[in-house]
Structure 1
Amino acid sequence: MNAVLDTHVRLAIEKVEREAWFDMYAAAPDDYIQNSKLSSARLGTSIALADHGTPIAEFNRVLGIGIDEPASEAELEQAIAWLNEHASPSYALQVAPTALPEAVWTWIEARGLKRAGNGWAKHYRDAVPTEEHPIPTALEVIRLEPHHAADFGHVAQAGFGLPLPIGAWLSALVGRPKWNVYVAYEGPTPVACGAMFIDHGWAWLGVDATLSDYRGRGAQNALIKRRLTDGIAAGVVGFTAETGQPPEGQEELNKSYCNYVRAGFKKAYVRPNYVSNG
């Protein structure tokens, strides 16, 4: 991957993730928005997300700063102010290592935010044909139609251990433009899920969850392969996903990380999380 392509890819995978999450929040039903104090906003070229009903960083963060164009201190101040006003206290400011200008890191730390944990590994894969997994699964992967949307919401909520009401929100992604939503079944029982958002020829893969009793049976490998196959058929030129970044030397212990590596994804970079000391 040459330097020009590398810059293009890093921009594209940040943008498609940004748009996927912003559209996901736009899909939320009104009652969920009211009960969970859900909100989202575009702040310049970044997006801000808040969900008091799901008080974890994935649902309470700002991402995209310094990607489309260099950030300013005013933009950073706006992002932090928005999070303090709208988000759960467990929020994160996520800034890609390619964000401009380089002074953005100094600005963040000067405002009392500290880097937390190992960050998120951003994975990338081009549109080469997929290969068969060495251990096929007996589970059946189905692209859902709206009349089975509740299966997706149930598996995502239960698989991640999220608050029960979030199932109705995530179910709303089924049948929504730009989204392809999948569930793996054992007979009639929904046991695992995954989603794909396609925008401007790029695809974001996410909402990968498996019910605890069905883990280790190849469901996510099959779901990744199906999304890659369908995405390539739809003209996707590049795919991205993110997982937690394992400690150095312990990558093989993170199942999600290994699933994407096994499917031909390469880690593009690690995106840190900055959190408030408060």
Structure 2
Amino acid sequence: MEGTTDDTGPGRSSGASPGALAALGLDLTAAVALAETAEAEFMLALHDGAPTEARRALGMHSERVAGGVAVVMAADPTGGYWNKALGFGLAAPVTEDLVAHLVDLYATAGAPAMTLQVAPSLLPEDWDELCAPHGIVGGSVWAKLLRHADVPVSPSVTELRIGRIGRDDTDAYARVFATGFGMPPEPHLLSMFAAAGAGGRGFTAYGAWDGDRLVAAANLHVAGPAAAFCGAATLPEARGRGAQSAFMRVRVEAARAAGCGWMSTETWQESEGAHNPSLQNMLRSGFVEVYDRRNWVWRP
């Protein structure tokens, strides 16, 4: 969940790291399938698990197509973040017809943007030619990371109380998530977060409390062989107190208990002058960068 959809830039993101794949004992095809499927399934579950009123008010719907998923939020209060099409190229090739269908889907819905996320190894040779007629441009780059369940859990130290989110905590959880990610506290968007925080559709949510106040939140989604570490946020005034390291530890343990052999996550890739603490925390927690994936952005 970490990153933006409007950081435009030229070029195509890099492919997988041979050293990383060797360290994990995976080939490129297997790594991409684990990472892309885990993210696509949690995004679909998050959208489809939103309350009916929120789905109606925000113009939300989803579609499985060509082996991937498209999640639409026409009245996206963030300006486009929650409109994503991903998981493509695994079950069927990425084609001109698919790109045209997706653009039509989001345009017809009146969405403010679409972010098309395809692993670089699955992009066709004529990708630039497919994008040009639709005005699709290269945006920000995300790092995709995997972790084997057998890797030892990194120790973590925090004075914050770490635990599962309960039914009475979901509203606070939603507000911490929105604030931590810099998103507006729009009521229907908050209700989508709260539904996931309540443990819907494969989610298990965690919180960090300073006394009685929730100051950080995280979520885990399980829907296949790779558990998705699908977002963790801390209020600005509580950062640097160990919440994120503790969330990594408890989610690794929970994913193992759920029988997952792999764990997947993603965050925005660092660039010159832009340090991403989340990425460094992931690496310290046993995750390995396997490839970078550029966001491809369409706007009406």
TM-score (norm 1): 0.90
| Residue correspondence of structure 1 range 244-263 to structure 2 within 5 A | 244-248=268-272, 250=273, 253-263=275-285
Equivalent in 11, 17, 28 of residue 6 of structure 1:
28
| Structure 1 pair 182–212 and aligned structure 2 pair: CA distance change class (3 A) | same
Quick one: distance in 1 between partners of 2:66 and 2:133?
21
Which of 1 and 2 has higher RCO (CA within 8 Å, sep 6+)? 2
| Structure 1 pair 4–216 and aligned structure 2 pair: CA distance change class (3 A) | closer
- Say which SS state the counterpart of residue 59 (structure 1) adopts: coil
Equivalent residue number for residue 160 of structure 1:
181
In the TM superposition, residue 219 of structure 1 has moved relative to its aligned partner by 0.9
- Using the aligned pairs only, state the percent identity: 28
| Structure 1 pair 87–212 and aligned structure 2 pair: CA distance change class (3 A) | farther
| Structure 1 pair 105–99 and aligned structure 2 pair: CA distance change class (3 A) | farther
Quick one: distance in 1 between partners of 2:221 and 2:205?
9
Quick one: distance in 2 between partners of 1:202 and 1:187?
34
Q: Which amino acid aligns with 2:65?
A: L
| Residue correspondence of structure 1 range 12-23 to structure 2 within 5 A | 12-23=34-45
Equivalent residue number for residue 213 of structure 1:
237
The runs of 4+ residues in structure 1 deviating greater than 4 Å are: none
In the TM superposition, residue 33 of structure 1 has moved relative to its aligned partner by 1.4
| Residue correspondence of structure 1 range 225-264 to structure 2 within 5 A | 225-248=249-272, 250=273, 253-264=275-286
Alignment deviations for residues 128-178 of structure 1 (CA, whole Å, 9 cap, x no partner): 220213xx1111111123333223212112222322212221111122242
Quick one: distance in 1 between partners of 2:240 and 2:205?
21
Contact (CA 8 Å) 1:48, 1:83: kept in 2 or not?
A: no
Q: Which amino acid aligns with 1:53?
A: D
Equivalent in 225, 228, 241 of residue 201 of structure 1:
225
Contact (CA 8 Å) 2:76, 2:112: kept in 1 or not?
A: no
Equivalent residue number for residue 188 of structure 1:
212
Give the total of aligned pairs: 273
Equivalent residue number for residue 114 of structure 1:
137
Quick one: distance in 1 between partners of 2:265 and 2:128?
24
In the TM superposition, residue 256 of structure 1 has moved relative to its aligned partner by 1.1
Q: Which amino acid aligns with 2:158?
A: T
| Residue correspondence of structure 1 range 87-106 to structure 2 within 5 A | 88-106=111-129
* RMSD, aligned α-carbons: 2.0
- Say which SS state the counterpart of residue 58 (structure 1) adopts: coil
Structure 1 runs not aligned, ≥5 long: none
TM-score (norm 2): 0.84
